[in-house]
Amino acid sequence: MPFNAQAIDHVEVFVRDIPAAIRWYEQVLGLKEIQRWDPEPVMVGAGGTMLALFQAPPDSPQAAEKDAPPLRWHRVAWRTDTAGLKAAQKHLASLGIQFRGPVDHGSTWSIYFRDPDGHPLEITAPVV
């Protein structure tokens, strides 16, 4: 039997300040620390999906789409429901986090924003 992937386990991401990133992802997306190695990565996540936070080298440029290589991961999208998407918009606005959307994709609605290190994020909900 060939290998079949079941789900995304984690996405590895470089951040400038791991403790600050842990706080930001918990405050903004409700992600909780799940596991920690010494000294890194620190795994944060929800619903079986995790981010592995690694310390970026001090001279690393901030993530930005225009400076990105042509082939790369584009963004991490977090799924919620319609009520959750509305709540996420209010929550991001209350934190002063700029976002784009909601964008109607036909079968889903999405909002787009960036973490403090410039990594692109999305919150998406299916149309019901």
Q: What is the pTM of this model?
A: 0.78
Domains, the chain: 10-55 (3.30.720.120), 75-128 (3.10.180.10)
* CA distance between the termini of the chain: 36
- The pLDDT value recorded for residue 63 is 60
- The pLDDT value recorded for residue 66 is 57
- The pLDDT value recorded for residue 50 is 92
- The pLDDT value recorded for residue 73 is 67
- The pLDDT value recorded for residue 59 is 78
- The pLDDT value recorded for residue 32 is 97
The helix or strand, by DSSP H or E, that contains position 15, with its residue range, turns out to be: strand 10-15
Query: 90: helix, coil or strand?
Result: helix
- The pLDDT value recorded for residue 113 is 94
Contact between 25 and 44 (Cβ < 8 Å)? yes
Q: Following DSSP, what letter does each residue of 52-116 receive, concatenated?
A: EEEEPPTTPPPP-GGGS-SSS---EEEE--HHHHHHHHHHHHHTT---EEEEE-SSEEEEEEE-T
Q: Which two tokens stand for residue 97?
A: 């986090």
Which residues, given as ranges, of the chain have pLDDT below 70?
A: 1, 3-5, 62-73
- The pLDDT value recorded for residue 60 is 75
